[in-house]
Structure 1
């Protein structure tokens, strides 16, 4: 079947050409990168793009508003009844709930496999039956079909001369609904400013004089604001619609509402009100920009939507509505117009992340082309192989579109780490075809020779790729956040490798037949036509990348087309230097795209660095190839000596990974059985030295992604008013805005008008965008100026400046967070920090007390950042409570409800009705004037009407007292919970910190310093939980991947011994990955200067912890680490089958012959894998934080894997020698 396919595409080159053209056009149409002019040339439907996958929980929000009610009222009457009612819904994993002032939020978290919209329908069914358990008028609703991670676009409304309430009205009734109609948008939430309302400040003295109660005023206002319809009337055969107009239109309309008549004298609202005016409604949130209050909105993309397209749609809407935004003529005659000004736009992060990956892919392709040119020194074969690289990438994009895999940092990283493997298949195919053409007999059909060369390695290519693809199948078993992160990567890597196989087997042989074979003149015309087609396609692609590249391809294409008419001396000259010219041109392009030393060093220094680096590595590979036969021959007679090398590598790698103590645990365990303790052994030198030098690699869930902005989230004391909180926020924003590296500062306190936001007044969220390290290229100098001060080296340094600036009285510090990362961690754990302790108990006071103790102890833990340890101030909100005396109210003939209604309306105010003013709606509210409720005495003098018409002061029937109560009540699965947030110090692994904190707290419990009341417990939460779960999953996934690879290798060789030999290369490569990770953390490693830059800085050398990203890098390594062994072992079997050696010298000669024959293609594949990943190791753009640790195992493993070129032949030779010895013994 496979050979038939190869033969069909080889013989039908028109089909092959159409296939290639189809891939190019379709690939360009769906590629996620912006294509510039191509957009206008052809319709495009790109793959959906975002910065990172949505790894939040599968959750729905049940939101209930009951304005004016305390958190305790919300918890007792709304949250708890709803939470227990929702527990029985199928697929529910857990329920987190929050009761705050005036609202309740319940986060219902479903299992991963539950459909998002199915879960919404189940919630609606359950809520309809739960309604009966709630107070009258309280209606729970389901939140938007989105998550907080969908907050993709934040903006402010700005216009000189416009007040905050005017801007808020424009936002609420014009901008909000216009943007919400954009395709893909779930919600637009308003924040900041003041909501306008009609305010009736009632005068209790006038009410008493007129004999009017609050209930009378409420009823009158409600009945005075209504339009009615009276169906239709027909006059003169015409139909008229009848309406009764009665909506309130102005303050005068409210003032003139009749409450009742007294002896035929009407009593109006204006008679019993001290004033009727416009005023601000009660607000629970505010927005600040650079120290000044602002009005804005937050745009949320629909769940599963395309963030990039959604933002584009929003911007189109903004362009449409901006021309209709209000204007105002200022006193100086200038016309001011309201503008929509974005301050957080995820487009920038998405484009920068995709840009980093796009640049990495381009750089990898160019490096790979250089490696191919240098190794093959055969321009035509180099171009054939190089041509297949972009085709494979485009084919991967097509598969992403077909299988609905979104483009993000993880999915595109899958293609990036596969580039070296993609080209390997073309190298193996071309190398074999060229060898067969050289060895072909006179008169033999070139087509048959090419077919023989292609079919000979077709099976090996398929096996090699199968082991690589299958190694990633285990990733598809991952669940939770790690599954959502790495399944896209597994898909795209598999797509890219599948594409490389299709191209190597179906396209490369046809191209080789066209470009490598000399034709008869009768076939020259057909050959020329194919050359023209391929040249046109190649030139088109080249021009899209670079004008010079396109011109170079065009020139070479003309040479190929007209080579028979070119004089021999010109042809010889061209062939002599064409490879070096091509290498030089590609090197220049590579430097221009790569610039590893940074743009500040200029092009020439970067070109020198790139040239020196690649030349040095290529010299190493050629020297290795040159001395390989001598080294192999030397070790063939000293096999035991050689085997010490891979054994030492494995022991060293395992010691780095697990730690010295764990590696020697079998020895210490044995000594322990005879009474020698492990601690005693580890105190002996050199064991003590090795124990401290190799403690084991640190662990974390994921390396943080640099988003280009921070989310600064300090808190203030729970007793602070909104005015106090706003004062703190504005001071912080002004100070942070003065940092030169900061681009913009916009802060929010409290919550937005959205179920997605349940922040209390004491919580501050400040979005801080900082400038990129380098600005735009200077057209005169060609350099990009550095925008950061000299002592600011990394974004961490900017964060330290932010913490210093934000350190003001009244506010806590904050954990290091970024907008997307913060939303993810809050969605997953409910906490606003990457790490924390959840304290569960029966009493809020006990939970708070335990939290304070844990806060105190955590500050002493090494590795914990003391300033970031913050325990929830749960019971710290001042309450004023009126305890009604039932006996006293009974004397006056009134009940609890009568008194409560007066307290609610007179002090808190009650919404009586809503005006209808065109598209706008405003509430009408009545309560006592501020001066009559500003003191305790005034509150006690609030009048309560009795049944007889008399009015008595509130103090007559109720006792007022001050108590402390909760600001917010949190619970998980109906159990009360409080949080203690903390963060780690830089360069300390998350898991190590949590383990140290856990051990320290346990020691305090054992010593009696930390006392847990009965029924109270604590647990660590945050990213730590993800890491623990992913580690358990990887403990199954990694062995499973290795087992599958072993089975595939066994099917290839049908011998356990040969399979083990090839498989041993994976073990050595595995340890090699750990060695490079360890070397990266050593300050002395690669601390070499190059014109003021150190290699450590260029290659991002620092401490990298074991994370899911690193383990996925190892999974990728497992798939490719056996490739060289497969190639060498396959040829060893062929060599031994042909030669049939009968003596030890003959066995060694056959082994040496096979090794020599396959060392070049193996070195090429290894070189392309290692060198292709160099741009990722030096990348500093968005996304490099995740890509670098993912690439390290492959680079380290494949560097050490070179030893496989000795291990497999030496091991195979040893097996054959043993067989020969046994055969001789049996003969005797």
Structure 2
């Protein structure tokens, strides 16, 4: 080929191009962002709305349903799911893949603007945002000290602005802060004495706390704007505000209410290592480097700490970049180990340092070129892209090995260095291009894969493709050029080493086995079929899972007391948990707990739930794995009575939701609650189902107040009027804003806490009627204690109830199938249905997409080979190396104890392009020898003996270079382990079948071709 000849004739030009690529790659790798996973683009948006002191039923009817109705007709929306819980509503919109999310969010905002004026008065403004894993905090920092008020002020005034100025920081959220509030606690007896109503106090304060512009007046040539300033400047102003009663009495606010400057009551608490703290969670900008942002924050801590009071400290609680850096470092280490192994294999076969250097140069050049291409395509350095390099490092030298072997054979025939390099490289360049292309085309069907599988597959595919393209160009340009200049001595016959003698014995043994296989062709084919069928038969023993999880040394503990428990009671429980945690201080680096609070999606907004986040010391400093420590700690914590405690490992996987989630849909929440309890009982006995739980079992106690409308009407009262008086009495009301030094502080009117704590307080509460009558509430309403839901879920505007379950001792797919079979036998009421969600659903969808990609990949591989050989028959012969990979894949997963997963499936797709490479080289050389005049039998045996060496070299470099990943060495390697195991065993077994089965298949098809041609000649 002209490219080969040109590279040999113009060595200086080739070297200059290589140096330019290396320089570009070095610059690119310095600018590549580092992250744990690639960016996952989920077409999901969220509308979050607060509704203070409202039960889930009110939140659903007054917030969630109106929002659902307003957005339901927006183009591109595939699913709408709402979660209505105490104080908040969360509406998730899942759009079709390919939807322009920016435009869709504009449409959503327009619809929300139309409906938000009809939402309740206490409802906050709906917040619309796109859902992205990038929105998770990069680092958590604890602000500790004695005075909560000082910590809050420092956080708001100094610390948050300081961190938000750091490069790459998008926002800083404060947790555990106390919000200042001026409370007017009413004295009910004094109000009755003076005949003052709450509405009169509200009106007086609002009238007094006002500033306004009232016009302009002239002063000479100037117009002066007249502004009346009547806003409060101190608490004394509030206390001395005059309140006029209807009877004409004038009193000051301080006569009927106690005015205090304090903090709003909260049902949440944040503790770091057992001490009350303010915690700052820092989010990075979308395009920022996670590791760099974390480093910037770490460096700036010393500066901000120096400006804080002595008794106040800032400390890093959890830094997600630590695990990212460790995971990336471990993958880089695996790449280096794999590269060294590949070079040692080359040295063993080639017996020449110069020859090894010639081929070994393919690895660094391919890697550096890949970094440059990654930079320009917007990829990041993560465990998947670097894993792709680690997986491809052995394959990078395959093309160079084949080219160099042929150059070597021409040199042995007496050709000059120049002619050996040009003829040897040019002869096999088409086969090398074909073999590389077959590996590359398997990645094209990624366009048909969607969701998480695509997000995982695409960066891996691009990285492997880039590295193989670079190595191919090196093989057909740099290798021939260097061979013509450096390998004069390396190609001369020298003394024989022990490995040469061993390789010759292997070659002779192979030739003998090949001759027997060709003699007993039917037996060979039958044996192969039996092995493949047997492997398929034992696949149920392997099991299936979504994505393997990694051990990042993080765990969480969920402590849940009885629904409705006070914050103080929950705090007592976590004190007991902390006492047990202190027994294992040598393993725990930091413990961060939030009592109550939580986020919209978790539902943990009540004081009966506490969530611990625990970071263990680095793996090198402990002998116990995170999983083992979780089990030990779980056993100890079960001794604590009065709370349900669940200990779990925080996984580095990217699965969505619980492993098993049974989604029950229907018109009525009450019916769904009953059905969910039945489902729990139904699946409880299924093998592998662990801790099944219905959301209905998480109900909170409620006191249902039902107003007697007729009796209320007699006094001129309405349900709405009674409701507003109850709200005022038990919730209070923000009546104005007090401004101080640029801050806005709520001024709230409320009744004493001791008057709004018990059922008796509610029953005896005085209701003021328009006609002047004052009645206790129990004369106008009845009371009933009921169990209310924690969260009300709706899916596509229909009620939904979920039953979740962990999986233990069995594979996810088998458990999901058994659950589905049991539920299909349930007699559900008309209008009610079920579906399986969670990781089981994600796994099924991903496997379905990947199956389509695999089928399309196999077709593309065949098409590439048909074009290369200009023949439909030879590619079909080569394709027979694919079914044999099943034997290796099943054997590998059984031996390693791994389940079939998305990475393993991706490994099979990659194998479809890899395993045919050896067959291409073998069949192509058989054809070359037959064209030289050898008969079929001699050509097959000679091609087998001649190609055994390069086939062994390419197979061993690929397989051995993947062993570090197959052993899951280092942090975060668990995710690539199934992929590596699949390729290691699949390629090894397939190579054996290639060397033995493909020659047999070749003879059968050759016989078939002769029969067809003979019939045509007779016709």
* TM-score under structure 1 length normalisation: 0.77
Is 2:917 the partner of 1:1123?
yes
1:732 and 1:805 in contact (8 A); partners too: no
SS state at 2:883 partner = helix
Query: 1:470 & 1:863 partners in 2: Cα distance?
Result: 39
Which of residues 5, 12, 15 in structure 1 aligns to 2:13? Answer: 15
2:237 paired residue number? 253
Superposed CA deviations along residues 410-447 of structure 1, whole A, max 9, x for unmatched, are 22222211111111112222223333344344xx5x44
2:45 paired residue number? 60
Please report how far the alpha carbon of residue 1168 of structure 1 lies from its aligned counterpart in structure 2 after TM superposition.
0.4
1:294 paired residue number? 277
1:524 paired residue number? none
SS state at 1:707 partner = strand
Query: 2:37 & 2:823 partners in 1: Cα distance?
Result: 35
In structure 2, relative to structure 1, the CA distance for the partners of 1:814 and 1:435 (3 Å cut) is: same
In structure 2, relative to structure 1, the CA distance for the partners of 1:706 and 1:203 (3 Å cut) is: same
Which of residues 729, 746, 756 in structure 2 aligns to 1:923? Answer: 746
Query: 1:365 & 1:240 partners in 2: Cα distance?
Result: 81
Query: 2:219 & 2:613 partners in 1: Cα distance?
Result: 64
In structure 2, relative to structure 1, the CA distance for the partners of 1:997 and 1:94 (3 Å cut) is: same
1:1200 paired residue number? 989
Query: 1:926 & 1:1163 partners in 2: Cα distance?
Result: 84
Is 2:815 the partner of 1:999?
no
1:129 paired residue number? 114
1:1060 paired residue number? 876
Which of residues 633, 637, 641 in structure 2 aligns to 1:806? Answer: 637
Please report how far the alpha carbon of residue 929 of structure 1 lies from its aligned counterpart in structure 2 after TM superposition.
0.3
Please report how far the alpha carbon of residue 801 of structure 1 lies from its aligned counterpart in structure 2 after TM superposition.
1.7
Please report how far the alpha carbon of residue 1109 of structure 1 lies from its aligned counterpart in structure 2 after TM superposition.
0.8
Is 2:108 the partner of 1:276?
no
Please report how far the alpha carbon of residue 201 of structure 1 lies from its aligned counterpart in structure 2 after TM superposition.
0.7
Which of residues 564, 567, 577 in structure 2 aligns to 1:722? Answer: 567
SS state at 1:505 partner = helix
In structure 2, relative to structure 1, the CA distance for the partners of 1:324 and 1:1186 (3 Å cut) is: same
Query: 2:233 & 2:356 partners in 1: Cα distance?
Result: 79
In structure 2, relative to structure 1, the CA distance for the partners of 1:1222 and 1:76 (3 Å cut) is: closer
Please report how far the alpha carbon of residue 637 of structure 1 lies from its aligned counterpart in structure 2 after TM superposition.
5.2
1:985 paired residue number? 808
SS state at 1:283 partner = coil
Q: Comparing 698-707 with 838-847, which one deviates more in the overlay?
A: 838-847
Which of residues 587, 603, 628 in structure 2 aligns to 1:797? Answer: 628
Would you say how many aligned residue pairs link Structure 1 and Structure 2? 1013
Structure 2 unaligned residues grouped into runs of 5+: none
SS state at 2:785 partner = strand
1:482 and 1:1026 in contact (8 A); partners too: no
In structure 2, relative to structure 1, the CA distance for the partners of 1:818 and 1:1226 (3 Å cut) is: closer
Is 2:31 the partner of 1:45?
yes
SS state at 2:562 partner = coil
Is 2:904 the partner of 1:1110?
yes
In structure 2, relative to structure 1, the CA distance for the partners of 1:248 and 1:803 (3 Å cut) is: farther
1:667 paired residue number? none
1:653 and 1:1072 in contact (8 A); partners too: no
- 5 Å-filtered alignment, 1:313-324, equals 313-315=296-298, 318=301, 321-324=304-307
- 5 Å-filtered alignment, 1:209-220, equals 209-220=193-204
SS state at 1:507 partner = helix
In structure 2, relative to structure 1, the CA distance for the partners of 1:243 and 1:133 (3 Å cut) is: closer
Please report how far the alpha carbon of residue 84 of structure 1 lies from its aligned counterpart in structure 2 after TM superposition.
1.9
2:680 and 2:693 in contact (8 A); partners too: yes
2:22 and 2:365 in contact (8 A); partners too: yes
SS state at 1:493 partner = helix
- 5 Å-filtered alignment, 1:1086-1097, equals none
Please report how far the alpha carbon of residue 925 of structure 1 lies from its aligned counterpart in structure 2 after TM superposition.
1.3
- 5 Å-filtered alignment, 1:1015-1094, equals 1015-1078=831-894, 1080=895
2:633 and 2:647 in contact (8 A); partners too: no
2:550 and 2:975 in contact (8 A); partners too: yes
- 5 Å-filtered alignment, 1:639-650, equals 639=518, 641=520, 644-645=523-524, 647-650=526-529
2:116 and 2:126 in contact (8 A); partners too: no
In structure 2, relative to structure 1, the CA distance for the partners of 1:820 and 1:339 (3 Å cut) is: farther
RMSD over equivalenced CA pairs, Å: 3.4
Which of residues 21, 24, 34 in structure 1 aligns to 2:22? Answer: 24
1:185 and 1:302 in contact (8 A); partners too: yes
- 5 Å-filtered alignment, 1:673-688, equals none
2:592 paired residue number? 746
In structure 2, relative to structure 1, the CA distance for the partners of 1:473 and 1:344 (3 Å cut) is: same
Which of residues 694, 702, 705 in structure 1 aligns to 2:550? Answer: 705
Query: 2:821 & 2:303 partners in 1: Cα distance?
Result: 60
SS state at 1:152 partner = coil
In structure 2, relative to structure 1, the CA distance for the partners of 1:1072 and 1:896 (3 Å cut) is: closer
2:634 and 2:647 in contact (8 A); partners too: no
1:471 paired residue number? 442
- 5 Å-filtered alignment, 1:184-195, equals 184-195=168-179
Query: 1:509 & 1:251 partners in 2: Cα distance?
Result: 88
1:901 paired residue number? 724
- 5 Å-filtered alignment, 1:205-604, equals 205-228=189-212, 245-260=229-244, 266-273=250-257, 275-302=258-285, 306-315=289-298, 318=301, 321-325=304-308, 327=309, 335-336=310-311, 338-441=312-415, 446-516=417-487
Query: 1:234 & 1:1138 partners in 2: Cα distance?
Result: 112
Please report how far the alpha carbon of residue 928 of structure 1 lies from its aligned counterpart in structure 2 after TM superposition.
0.6
Query: 2:839 & 2:519 partners in 1: Cα distance?
Result: 46
Please report how far the alpha carbon of residue 214 of structure 1 lies from its aligned counterpart in structure 2 after TM superposition.
1.1
1:943 and 1:954 in contact (8 A); partners too: yes
1:98 and 1:969 in contact (8 A); partners too: yes
In structure 2, relative to structure 1, the CA distance for the partners of 1:810 and 1:233 (3 Å cut) is: farther
Query: 1:1225 & 1:210 partners in 2: Cα distance?
Result: 119
Is 2:1003 the partner of 1:1187?
no
1:733 and 1:746 in contact (8 A); partners too: no
In structure 2, relative to structure 1, the CA distance for the partners of 1:713 and 1:498 (3 Å cut) is: farther
In structure 2, relative to structure 1, the CA distance for the partners of 1:1049 and 1:1223 (3 Å cut) is: closer
Superposed CA deviations along residues 1036-1066 of structure 1, whole A, max 9, x for unmatched, are 2222211211122222223344323222122
1:973 paired residue number? 796
1:330 paired residue number? none
Superposed CA deviations along residues 20-43 of structure 1, whole A, max 9, x for unmatched, are 222222222222xxxxxxxxxxxx
Is 2:530 the partner of 1:651?
yes
Query: 1:643 & 1:922 partners in 2: Cα distance?
Result: 89
* TM-score under structure 2 length normalisation: 0.92
1:191 and 1:285 in contact (8 A); partners too: no
Query: 1:721 & 1:385 partners in 2: Cα distance?
Result: 70
Query: 2:343 & 2:362 partners in 1: Cα distance?
Result: 11
- 5 Å-filtered alignment, 1:189-204, equals 189-204=173-188
Superposed CA deviations along residues 966-1017 of structure 1, whole A, max 9, x for unmatched, are 222111112222222211114x2101112223334455x3xxxxx6444433
SS state at 1:1133 partner = helix
Is 2:171 the partner of 1:171?
no
SS state at 1:52 partner = coil
In structure 2, relative to structure 1, the CA distance for the partners of 1:1172 and 1:1016 (3 Å cut) is: same
SS state at 2:620 partner = coil
Query: 1:995 & 1:1058 partners in 2: Cα distance?
Result: 42
Please report how far the alpha carbon of residue 114 of structure 1 lies from its aligned counterpart in structure 2 after TM superposition.
1.9
SS state at 2:997 partner = helix
1:835 and 1:982 in contact (8 A); partners too: yes
SS state at 2:681 partner = helix
